[in-house]
């Protein structure tokens, strides 16, 4: 996800050609495969560093792709691992997962110069009631937004439906970070806010590709950046959950480029 940038409005949104869309499909599918690969390893006792190492070797050696986060503006690892009250950009390290944790694993790969970006929540061991419910609502909120995507819909419509759904369930939406356009570059315009006002914002066009990735907190929406310059946490130390897919706007609707094998789309 991108940190909010209020100076981005002068950039032109990038419409992808047919050939570019095909490359985005490939990159998106590869990103999804990394999450599929990692899922069996997410259990109590494994460190996030080991998850990162496994992901790195799988991306490079098996998929013949590039882990986009590695060295991106100095980020030191190949994936992001955000546990419990970490909102996003958690840096893998020696910390071991324990039963009851919730963790977001964020994957971005580069294949033939194009990016695929996706993330998933994982419930470690026996999850608590709040963590499980928060994760479910975050995923449902993401699909609420995705289901609206089609030409002529405005970005404010997407943000508004995500915000309304999350808040109606007693949770809050992070304001400091957002989704983003994606393609040849990791972060492209437009910014995809997960809150907003219906009927406002950029009008979608066929050929746009972007992420929808709401960060939903169990407590207040405010965030705090740790001294490492990357890890964003909830200011009130409440749990946070996030899901992410890369979306292509088609002539008649949308295509989810990062669906995992057998992934069920909820009816929301």
pLDDT one-digit tens code per residue, 86-129 = 999 999 999 999 999 999 999 999 999 999 999 999 999 998 99
139, 122 Cβ separation under 8 angstroms: no
What gap in Å lies between CA 189 and CA 200, rounded to an integer? 16
Give the HSE-up count for residue 225: Cα atoms under 13 Å, Cβ half-sphere: 8
Q: Provide the mean pLDDT of the chain.
A: 95
Token duo for residue 44: 């109590």
* Strand segments (E) across 185-256: 188-192, 209-212, 215-217, 223-225, 232-234, 240-242, 245-249, 254-256
Torsion of CA 233, 164, 1, 123, to 10 degrees: 60
What gap in Å lies between CA 84 and CA 238, rounded to an integer? 8
β partners of residue 245: 212
Whole-prediction pTM: 0.95
**pLDDT band of 267, cuts 50, 70, 90:** confident
Check whether 200 has a pLDDT greater than 60: yes
Cβ count near 4 (within 10 Å): 13
What are the CA-CA distances from residue 19 to residues 22, 185, 206 (Å)?
5, 16, 14
Token duo for residue 245: 């897919």
pLDDT for position 8: 46
What is the 3-class SS of 35-103, one letter each residue? HHHHHHHCCCCCEHHHHHHHHHHHHHHHCCCEECCCCHHHCCCCCEEEECCEEECCCCCCCECCCCCEE
Pick the residue with more confidence: 159 or 1? 159
β partners of residue 254: 249
Check whether 204 has a pLDDT greater than 90: yes
């Amino acid at each position: 996800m991108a940190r909010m940038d209020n100076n981005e409005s002068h950039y032109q949104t990038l419409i992808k050609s047919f050939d570019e869309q095909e490359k985005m499909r490939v990159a998106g599918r590869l990103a999804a495969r990394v999450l599929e690969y990692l899922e069996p390893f997410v259990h109590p006792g494994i460190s996030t560093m080991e998850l990162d190492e496994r992901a790195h070797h799988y991306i490079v050696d098996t998929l013949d792709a590039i882990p986009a986060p590695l060295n991106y503006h100095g980020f030191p690892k190949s994936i992001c691992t955000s546990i419990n009250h970490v909102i996003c950009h958690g840096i893998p390290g020696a910390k071991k997962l324990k039963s009851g944790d919730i963790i977001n694993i964020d994957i971005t790969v580069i294949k033939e110069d194009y990016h695929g970006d996706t993330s998933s929540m994982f419930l470690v061991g026996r999850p608590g009631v709040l963590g499980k419910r928060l994760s479910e609502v975050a995923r449902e909120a993401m699909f609420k937004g995705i289901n609206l995507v089609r030409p002529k819909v405005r970005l404010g419509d997407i943000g508004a439906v995500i915000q309304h759904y999350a808040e109606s369930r007693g949770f809050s939406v992070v304001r400091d970070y957002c989704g983003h356009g994606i393609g040849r570059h990791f972060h492209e315009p437009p910014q995809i806010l997960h809150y907003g006002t219906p009927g406002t914002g950029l009008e979608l066009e066929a050929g746009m590709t972007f992420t929808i990735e709401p960060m939903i907190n169990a407590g207040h929406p405010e965030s705090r950046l740790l001294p490492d310059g990357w890890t964003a946490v909830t200011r009130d130390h409440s749990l946070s959950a996030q899901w992410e897919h890369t979306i292509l706007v088609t002539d008649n609707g949308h295509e989810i480029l990062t669906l995992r094998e057998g992934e069920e789309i909820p009816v929301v």
